[in-house]
Amino acid sequence: MIPKLLPDNTFAADASMRALLDAWLRPATFAWAEADLSEMGRAAANELHAWGDACERQPAALTQFDGWGQRIDEVVYPQAWRELAAVAARTGLVALPYEAATLARVGGEARIVQAALCYLFAPSTATYLCPVAMTDGAARVLTDAGSERQRRDVVARLVSRDPTRAWTSGQWMTERQGGSDVGRNAVVARRDGDHWRLDGQKFFCSNIGCEVALALARPQGASSGTRGLALFLVPKAAPPDGGRNRYRIDRLKDKLGTRAMATGEVTLDGAYAELVGDGERGFAQMTAMLNITRLHNAVTAAATMRRACMLAAAYAREREAFGRTLDQQPLHQEVLREMTAQADGGLYLTMRMAQLLGRIETGLAGAGEAALFRLGIALAKLYTAKQAVAVVSEAIECFGGQGYMEDTGLPRLLRDAQVLPIWEGTTSVLSLDALRVLRRSESMDAVGAELDRLEAPDRDCALDLAHKAATDEPDAAERAARRVAYALAEAWIGGLLRQAGVEVRPPGIALRLR
């Protein structure tokens, strides 16, 4: 049913995305990127969709032992997963912001083009954008903080467009006892000559079949809390002979959604590891990776909302009830408009983050833009993720009982959306992070200037809430953190949409905070 409801080309059919790129990219950049965007839009409604479905029907499986009883811990993926990986590599979903020729041609706009391609790729591809996100983040960290050899041997693989050479990365941060409280991490690192050995357990390891992973661990004798954590590169194949590194995949997670993308639990048993950058700045260095994975999370959320809107609108044109099609009925028209407004808002806020990141990475951003991005990436991730769940839920309701059926694909879209408010920081964790950032004067000044520049309709109310929370006593400020985050995100979206000439509608179907 879904292929019939999708347009032939999701890029050509997405007027909001096309208008944004036309306004935000230089004409030469848009002309350079348009063929790839159009091809991705075509593939999203055709082979990418078919491969994504195949991955869901045959998810990755863990083979722990070979026929001789030797431990191998091999994650076996279906061929369709390999096909998705090949498209991601060839299209440069990771590579674009790192290629010298691309940067020379389009500069920081490479991040906008990359985000647009990922947005078209994401909703058809069984959450393959998760490996893309972590690989992009790892490439950024290793480019900025890695050794010359790590940049030469590892980054070159992470950003390769050749599917036979391209690697993906994992992100091994979470441990059972800590979760988001990373300062409680207990994995130990001990020096062994010119490298390190890691011991302990990591509890949520997405893309567990990766060739390399970045992991936080505490060197022996280091202080407690996040200040004592160092960042390490853990390869799947350990030097010098390329044999299996000394970590075990204990099991694959049985998850609510994102079932095609293997997530595992890992026991590190003297695993070979290389220090990345400054051993006393491990968590700070990891933040660069988190910023990029949060951007990809927002891209996925925006893309998920758009897919839900496309499906609901197409169904409304076909489904008749009470003597006319659903799209002719005023209340249903209003519901579809509210869903579209949420999708537009998520798109514009997310692409603003991509624009800021591109300017930061190419040295064009001032201190104010860097402060704005630091706050904005938390707001964009938390807001778009929460709204994606609401919009997909509304889309299921637009289909009525048929939306509850697995063969429409909508239940899977909802299950996969539900991870978005959890991965890379829950709504509460990110709201508190935003509150901490707002206590810095440069951040408050930056968001105020941004909302003024955009003439955001609700800027005064949002900024008043932010100022009050930033100066309030701690418990009262924490209780208000979600309300402040939503107010700022909605004001920012309102300004971006007003500037673009798009109707600004108050969120009517959102999961509003109480």
Q: What is the distance between the alpha carbons of residues 310 and 6, in angstroms, rounded to a whole number? A: 7
Say whether pLDDT at 167 is over 70. yes
Confirm if 134 and 211 have CB atoms less than 8 A apart: no
Lowest mean pLDDT, pick from 13-22, 282-291, 302-311, 463-472? 282-291
Report, as an integer, the average pLDDT of 166-179: 91
Confirm if 354 and 115 have CB atoms less than 8 A apart: yes
Sort residue 69 into left (φ over 0), alpha (ψ -120 to 50) or beta: left
- Is 247 in a helix, a strand, or coil? strand
What's the pLDDT score for residue 376?
A: 98
Confirm if 153 and 183 have CB atoms less than 8 A apart: no
Q: What distances in angstroms separate CA 187 from CA 20, 214, 439, one per listed residue?
A: 45, 13, 32
What tokens does 164 get?
Answer: 């036979």
> What does the pLDDT look like over 29-81, one tens digit per residue?
999 999 999 999 999 999 999 999 999 999 999 999 999 999 999 999 999 99
Say whether pLDDT at 260 is over 90. yes
In this structure, how many other beta carbons lie within 10 angstroms of the beta carbon of residue 237?
A: 12
Say whether pLDDT at 368 is over 90. yes
Q: What is the distance between the alpha carbons of residues 487 and 379, in angstroms, rounded to a whole number? A: 10
Say whether pLDDT at 307 is over 90. yes
- Is 190 in a helix, a strand, or coil? strand
What's the pLDDT score for residue 503?
A: 84
Phi and psi at 325, nearest 5°, equal -70, 160
Instruction: Say if residue 457 is preceded by a cis peptide, omega within 30 of 0.
Output: no
What's the pLDDT score for residue 379?
A: 98
Say whether pLDDT at 514 is over 90. no
Report, as an integer, the average pLDDT of 452-479: 96
Q: Any long-range contacts for 498-507 (C-beta under 8 Å, 24+ apart)?
A: 498/454, 498/455, 498/456, 498/457, 499/454, 499/455, 500/19, 500/20, 500/23, 500/348, 502/16, 502/344, 502/348, 503/341, 504/341, 504/457, 505/337, 505/338, 505/341, 507/338, 507/341, 507/342, 507/345, 507/387
- The model's confidence at residue 248, banded by pLDDT at 50, 70 and 90, is very high
- For the chain, the average pLDDT equals 95
What tokens does 276 get?
Answer: 């990345």
Burial readout 382-395 (b: 16 or more C-beta within 10 A, e: otherwise):
bbbbbbbbbbbbbb
> What does the pLDDT look like over 379-429, one tens digit per residue?
999 999 999 999 999 999 999 999 999 988 899 999 999 999 999 999 999
